[in-house]
Amino acid sequence: MTILLVEDDEVDIMNVKRAFKKNNISNPLLIAHNGIEALEMLRSSAANAPKPKIILLDLNMPKMGGIEFLKEIRQDQTLSTLSVFVMTTSNEDGDKIDAFNLNVAGYILKPLSMDRFISAVSTLNSYWALCEYPG
C-alpha cells in the first residue's frame, strides 16, 4: 500500500523515512512538499503511478497548507475516501477541530523525540495493517 507524505520540512521527511526503516515498513513512500504538489500527484492520470491510500499530512506548508488541502480532497469524489493522518507542530484547538471536521484518521503532534516518533509510526503501521481498504 502506497503512502503519501505531504511535508515541506526536509528534516521531518528524513525522520519519517528513518522511522519507517526502524519499523521495517517497506510501503512505497511518495513525497509532496505542499498541498498543490500533493493534489497534482493524486490527480495524475499516469497509469503506472501508484495511488496512495494513506496520507501523512503536515498542516503548516507554503502554497497550500494542510487544512486547505484536506478541504480540497474531501470535496473530490475520487479522493474523498483517503485516510489522512495529520503530523504537525500545531497544538491549536482550532486546527485540531478543523482537521477532525474534515475526517482525519488521527492527529499527531511533533516534534516527538525520535524514540517516541518511531513508536508512533509503529502504531500507525499496526493500524494500517488491521484496516481493510477497497481495491
114: pLDDT strictly greater than 80: no
Q: Which of 84, 86, 82, 85 is nearest to 95 (CA)?
A: 86
For residues 13 and 1, the model is more confident at: 13
The CATH classification number of 3-130 equals: 3.40.50.2300
pLDDT for the residue 38:
95
pLDDT for the residue 117:
81
Count of Cβ atoms closer than 10 Å to residue 134 Cβ = 5
103: pLDDT strictly greater than 80: yes
Count of Cβ atoms closer than 10 Å to residue 131 Cβ = 12
Write out pLDDT tens, residues 39-71.
999 988 665 667 898 999 999 998 999 999 999
pLDDT for the residue 39:
94
Cis omega (within 30 of 0) for bond into 28: no
26: pLDDT strictly greater than 80: yes
* Distance, CA of 17 to CA of 68 (rounded, Å): 25
* Distance, CA of 6 to CA of 16 (rounded, Å): 11
Strand pairing class (29-32; 83-88): unpaired
Domain residue ranges in the chain: 3-130
